[in-house]
Amino acid sequence: MEPQVGDVITLRRGKISYEGIVIPSPKKDSIIIKLSNGYNIGFRKESVEIINVEKKEKPKIFSEVKFQKRKDIPEISLISTGGTIASRVDYETGGVRWLMKPEEIFFMAPELSDIATFRNISSPFQIASESMTFECYRILAKEAAKELNAGSKGVIITHGTDTLHYTSAALSFMLQNLSKPVCLVGAQRSPDRGSFDGSMNLICASYIAGQSDMGEAVIVMHGEMSDTYCNVLRGTKVRKMHSTRRDTFRPINTSPLAKVFMNGKFEKISDYRLRNDDNEVYADIEMEERTAIIKAYPNFNPEILDYYIDKGYKGLVIEASALGHVPTDTINEKFSWVNSIKRAREQGIIVVFATQCLFGRVDPFVYSNGRIMEEMGVIYAEDMLPETAYLKLSWILGHTNDYFEVKRNMLDNMAGEINYRIKGDKNGL
């Protein structure tokens, strides 16, 4: 009997037997199965013997777990938005899809029942994080504020990791008067994998949301490759720095706020805004949509800048090189940015420079080309990450277009996004 995708089969190669679920193979002469440990293994069909086939058995990867509410542990809320942490295997394609109900997340981490009780579980949308928009940020900000003001000690937001740091930055500005923890959590490995990291991240985030003295928007993710501890990272000073590593999220130009362990042990590392359960948070969700990030690079044609100017954009964040440089004195004048930046400023477009180096800060007063840009009205964003500067500028422009107001607010350290004295991370940068 020829096994089909989704069948549970047992096959033998030599003296070793394997059992798993058939998933699609790119080659007709091969067969691939997903083992119970979550890993895939493939064989040439001619090299194996099919022992048993159970037709179309698609096991339920997770069951729904509903905890009884308890009064002896903190009450928090969960907002599920999709991503790898809230996914399951799609046996039609062999990949993962965002199919999980929020309640199924608890199946991955039953320890949560002894850490916190969940006041509310919601899922306003289920999407991959690369598909996030400002409208998503508005929805999350309103939902988080509602839960915090209704009595939750903190909020956990499960989210895809690709743009997790964009969302953490956006919420850091949108959630005004925030004085309870809002913990953004994701997973680098899917729940069917033996190396799934989401359970530990959820457990650690639950300790922060319910039991810590923090009052900020933070990312809580693995601090190293092994399951030792999670880092608690300020939402405006963090970035995804590796495509697959479980400890991908790193503090930039700063240290983690804290470490948190699976048993609830908490090690404070840096200062942070303290919890105040009496404060009322409000969601200030005005965002200017006509903003963009543009990366400076060799042979960049300023016609790209002209496109945004002609389209009526209100703000541009430039990922400038090193201290904040873009081409000015070029061999071929058409590659100089001077005329396009001047035109942008004349039309009232706010231009912000952040360093594409990530580590370090911009400074317009070291080289002459920096002075030229600064005199035109370019705002130099200190040590802000380009992504953070983009979200901050979009939020500020949602409230004012006045250049001096925008500049004052961009250089005001609203949510810990600026460090005037940079500390290196553990990588020594």
Contacts of 303 (CB under 8 A, 6+ apart): none
CA distance 120 to 76: 8
Rg (CA), the chain: 25
Cβ-contact 317, 393 below 8 angstroms: yes
Half-sphere exposure of 323 (CA within 13 A, CB side): 11
Give the alpha-carbon dihedral of 266, 271, 276, 277, to 10 degrees.
-30
CA distance 362 to 370: 9
Residue 206: its H or E element = helix 198-211
Cβ-contact 234, 218 below 8 angstroms: yes
Tokens 């949509």 — which residue? 289
Cβ-contact 336, 328 below 8 angstroms: yes
- Positive or negative: CA dihedral 392, 393, 394, 398: positive
CA distance 290 to 100: 34
CA distance 391 to 384: 11
Annotated catalytic residues are 84, 161-162, 240
